[in-house]
Each structure stands twice: as C-alpha cells, then as structure tokens.
Amino acid sequence: MKITGISGSPRPESSTNALIKAVLDSTDGESQIFNINELDIKPCQSCYYCKENGVCKYQDDYTDIVKALDESDVFVIGSPIYFSEVTAQLKTFIDRLYSVVNNQGISTKLVLIYVQANPDGSLYKPYIEAQSNMLSNIGFELVDTINAYGIPEYENLIENKEFLEKAKEIGSKL
Ligand SMILES: Cc1cc2nc3c(=O)[nH]c(=O)nc-3n(C[C@H](O)[C@H](O)[C@H](O)COP(=O)(O)O)c2cc1C
C-alpha cells in the first residue's frame, strides 16, 4: 500500500503535520509527505490549458503530487483552520486538482485532518462537511476525518492525546 500525506501548515512544529505523520506511521505501507509551504506550486491560473492538453501548463512541483495521486492508495490531507477555512497553501493544492479532475481523474481513498485553536468542535462542521462533499464529488473516497479542536499549539496536541490516538487508529485500519 502507498500512502501520501499533504500538509497545508507552514509551521515547522505543526500539529497538522504530527497528525498526518501519526496516520502514516500507523500503516504498514510505504509513505511520503508533501509540505505545500516548502514547494514551488503556482496557484491555478484558470487558463483551461489542461482541458485541451491533458496536463497543467505549469510543470512545477505539483507534477510530483500528480504522480503520487496516480500511484497512491490513500491520501491524508491536512490543514490548520485559518479564518474559518483551510490555509492558502492547502487551497492552492486543491485548486490545482482541476487539471487532474479534467484528465486522469481521481479515485484515491482520503483521510481529512483539520486543526483549530477554537475549543468548539462543532464550529467548522458545515465548512468541513461542504469540503468533504466537494472532494468526494471529484472522486476521492472519504474514509475518515479528524477535526482536532482546542489545539492552538503543538504542546496542546501532545497533552490532549485524543486526536493523536484517533490518527493512529485510522492509520492502523487502512
Ligand atoms: C492566520 C491565522 C488564522 C487563524 N484562524 C483561526 C480560526 O479561524 N479558527 C481557529 O480555531 N483557529 C485559527 N487559527 C489557529 C490555528 O488553526 C491553530 O494555531 C492550529 O493549531 C495551527 O496548526 P499547525 O500547528 O498545524 O500549523 C489561526 C491561526 C493563524 C496563524
């Protein structure tokens, strides 16, 4: 089994990264993580070149992610919540999926991870549900979701334990 993590956090010590890694490390598959913040990925330019030519016009670091989508059984996609949404880094990753959706398509299993400082775990449920539906509609097969709330800092994730345990459980069942 091949499993790929995608992180939208820019932090070096990130709860999102730790949760993605906990899922990946609990599988017996071969894994890799792409940290969007560290990559050279241009935002979608809405040029529709991909519709006519089968590939995105911009052959930047996203090319490696397209290859990973083709080869992976599972994607684990995570982001902190910034102003009620995923980070700009993760949104850039999502928008660039347009060329994949228009060409080879997506059929990969998906685990979604959201991390928020706010202690109210129901606050972003409508947003998370809408995004889950959209990702399912473009071909991902949603397996599970972690909505880690009340986690402003990495230390809170370590103290809390609940979300890391859930990540390990999800990974062990993949
Ligand atoms: C620009 C910015 C906006 C944020 N907006 C929200 C928000 O709307 N709701 C919330 O609960 N937390 C918000 N946070 C807090 C982060 O979601 C939180 O610190 C999270 O743990 C960061 O995850 P990471 O360690 O993986 O980067 C925001 C943080 C930043 C820097």
Q: Is 86 in the pocket of ligand 1 (CB under 6 A)?
A: no
Cβ–Cβ < 8 Å for 5, 34: yes
Q: Is the pTM of this model over 0.95?
A: yes
Q: What is the pLDDT along the chain (174 residues), one digit of tens a residue?
A: 999 999 999 999 999 999 999 999 999 999 999 999 999 999 999 999 999 999 999 999 999 999 999 999 999 999 999 999 999 999 999 999 999 999 999 999 999 999 999 999 999 999 999 999 999 999 999 999 999 999 999 999 999 999 999 999 999 999
Please state the domain extents for the chain: 2-173
Q: In the CATH hierarchy, which top-level class contains the domain 2-173?
A: alpha beta
In the block, which residue shows the tokens 């990973």?
A: 68
Q: How far is CA 1 from CA 28, 116, 131, in A?
A: 8, 30, 26
Which of the listed residues 23, 36, 81 should we mutate to test ligand 1's pocket, taking the one with most ligand atoms within 8 A of CB? Answer: 81
